[in-house]
Structure 1
Amino acid sequence: MASLKTALYVGACMTAWMITTAKMDIIPKAENVHWQSVDFKTILIWTATPSDYTYTVLYSEDGGNWDTNPDCIQISDSECDMTNSLKPFDRTYTADIQTEPAGINYDSDHDEFPHTYSPPFNPYRQSEISAVNFTVESVEETAVSINIIDPLTSIHEHTKQLSIRDILKKDLKYKIMYYKSGSTGKRDVTSNSSTAKISNLDAGQSYCFMVAAFIPSRAKAHKQGEWSSQICTPGHKSPLGELSLGALVGGIFILIVVLIIIVTVAVLCCKCCRQKKTIQQSSHSTVV
């Protein structure tokens, strides 16, 4: 009899386990979880099979306690804006995406539903930096001034919208690449501030410039931001400087031909005048 009860108990446990496992297999679990962050606006993104289940996102700072993102509780979307939750910026965060039935009672055990953990993410060291805007101003014949506009973030503090320099401070530098128009040789310099003077340029030549944010304290994959569009200075070449070698040689040849024609015509005119004068003198002598 005892053996029968034991067998029934084991059978009941196995049946319950199988039902729970089957149920867990049906519940959609967040997959392909990754972070997307540009200029410190950070979105947690995942994929899941369409269903009536919702998702709640929790996050942990440096392996500490879990907090719930108030904007991502029982959401049906497959993304969550984590921008305002990831502060301080220079910390490593992990997110936990919980799958839940719609209208779940928060007194119930959440561990019975699937959890998916994100890769660790540090916004200060991993957020990508977008292309910057800048201007180029001539200050001397052989020098220009580069003025860079620090990109704004979507983060506000005390009604002020922060720029990437407000966050990165002295870690933010700019890489400036430039080359002479029509040349393949490129040079680059690094500026510690948002302004830079580029000297030793060839006077009157056109130069093209591109700028990118540069954070040398980061790992190689996240050191440099996106390159900007290029801006080229107009240059001030002389008309002769704009001519090709062939055109210049052709022009010189034509000029020489014209000079020869002028000289030849002048010589012929002189000869004619002399001959006429000689004839006149001969006629006058004959009359006398």
Structure 2
Amino acid sequence: MAALRASLYAAVCLSAGIITAADGETPPKPENVKWVSLDFKTILTWTAAPSEHTFTVLYSWDKSDWIDIQECIELTEPHCDLTDSLALFDRTYVADIKTLSTAVDYDEGDPEHTYSPPFNPFKQSNISAAKFTINTVDENSVMVNITDPITSIHRQQKQLSIRDILKKDLKYKISYYKSGSTGKRDNISDFSEAIISKLDAGQTYCFMVAAYIPSRPKASQLGAWSPHVCTQTTPGTVTELSVGAWVGVFFILITILIIIITVTILCCKCCKQRRQSLHMSQTSAPI
């Protein structure tokens, strides 16, 4: 009897070992699921323990049926590009990441899986920094010309800009300050062009811009800020100097004036002495 029990125990252990060997390892659960989106190019990322398993991503919006993506079936890397699948930008999407193994029959149970947080591209996609130029209108005004950032999305053979997607929701925040000053002023423009007026003539101003979408939640309203671009002062204008610089200029002018006066006095003395010497030599000469 004891021998029979030992044989049964050995068989169970052997079967378990065979199953474990066939399965390889416990399927890793996807973790740290995140949406990474810039200018409406959207990639789903996650982390998982190294294994031989693959991942398949499905997505849904507004509690509709789950849809699979041909490019996101049996992935070996923990990321999937869903840009083309999220073509209806102003909808809230959820993804389901499943961990799959060819050694398991999933008809008897669901695979390991993780849901993503909800994501709305129209309200949450980050916006990159815009490029812009500055043109002088008059001595107190400049025109800021902004180029809308381009997305990687094409419609009818046209590459869309962020304005093509956001339309009237897109505005720009223009922040500017006088060179050497810490005070900043902001201007909100509904368009990609804006005239900034009431500037001090002859002064240098520095500008930077960012996309601004006030219809979004506050955390995602502002895009990335551009680098600073500064105006050039008009040739021939007198730029503002610091107090130290003015003192230096005044000191130089006084020094030059003193030198001129000193040289003039010395020249006059020399001329006077020469005339006196000449007069004395003439009067002392014998007749």
TM-score above 0.5: yes
The residue aligned with 1:177 is 175
Calculate the TM-score normalised by the size of structure 2. Answer: 0.81
Q: How far apart, in 2, do the equivalents of 1:166 and 1:91 lie? A: 17
Q: How far apart, in 2, do the equivalents of 1:93 and 1:30 lie? A: 18
State the percentage of identical aligned residues: 52
Structure 2, unmatched stretches of 5+, are 1-15
The residue aligned with 2:67 is 67
Does the 8 Å CA contact 2:30/2:99 hold for their aligned counterparts? yes
Equivalent residues in 2 for 1:243-254, closer than 5 Å = 244-254=245-255
1:114, CA displacement in angstroms? 1.1
The residue aligned with 2:57 is 57
Q: How far apart, in 2, do the equivalents of 1:266 and 1:55 lie? A: 98
Runs of 4+, deviation exceeding 6 Å: none
Look up the SS of the partner of 1:255 in the other structure: helix
1:64, CA displacement in angstroms? 1.6
The residue aligned with 1:203 is 201
Q: Specify whether residues 240 and 143 from structure 1 end up closer, same or farther in structure 2 by C-alpha distance, changes over 3 A only.
A: closer
Deviations along 1:184-236, one digit per CA (max 9) or x if unpaired, are: 22211111111111112222222211111111111111010111111112213
Q: Specify whether residues 247 and 75 from structure 1 end up closer, same or farther in structure 2 by C-alpha distance, changes over 3 A only.
A: same
Q: Specify whether residues 139 and 57 from structure 1 end up closer, same or farther in structure 2 by C-alpha distance, changes over 3 A only.
A: same
Q: How far apart, in 1, do the equivalents of 2:153 and 2:122 lie? A: 13
Q: Specify whether residues 249 and 211 from structure 1 end up closer, same or farther in structure 2 by C-alpha distance, changes over 3 A only.
A: same
Look up the SS of the partner of 2:74 in the other structure: coil
1:256, CA displacement in angstroms? 2.8
Calculate the TM-score normalised by the size of structure 1. Answer: 0.81
Equivalent residues in 2 for 1:98-117, closer than 5 Å = 98-102=98-102, 109=107, 111-117=109-115
Q: How far apart, in 2, do the equivalents of 1:157 and 1:103 lie? A: 42
Matched length:
263
1:245, CA displacement in angstroms? 2.4
Q: How far apart, in 1, do the equivalents of 2:95 and 2:107 lie? A: 19
Structure 1, unmatched stretches of 5+, are 1-15
1:270, CA displacement in angstroms? 6.9
Look up the SS of the partner of 1:65 in the other structure: coil
Q: Of 117, 134, 151, which aligns to 2:132?
A: 134
RMSD: 3.1
Equivalent residues in 2 for 1:150-165, closer than 5 Å = 150-165=148-163
Moved more, 248-257 or 47-56: 248-257
Does the 8 Å CA contact 2:33/2:45 hold for their aligned counterparts? yes
Q: How far apart, in 2, do the equivalents of 1:228 and 1:221 lie? A: 18
Does the 8 Å CA contact 1:240/1:248 hold for their aligned counterparts? no
Deviations along 1:39-60, one digit per CA (max 9) or x if unpaired, are: 0000000011122211111111
Does the 8 Å CA contact 1:134/1:148 hold for their aligned counterparts? yes
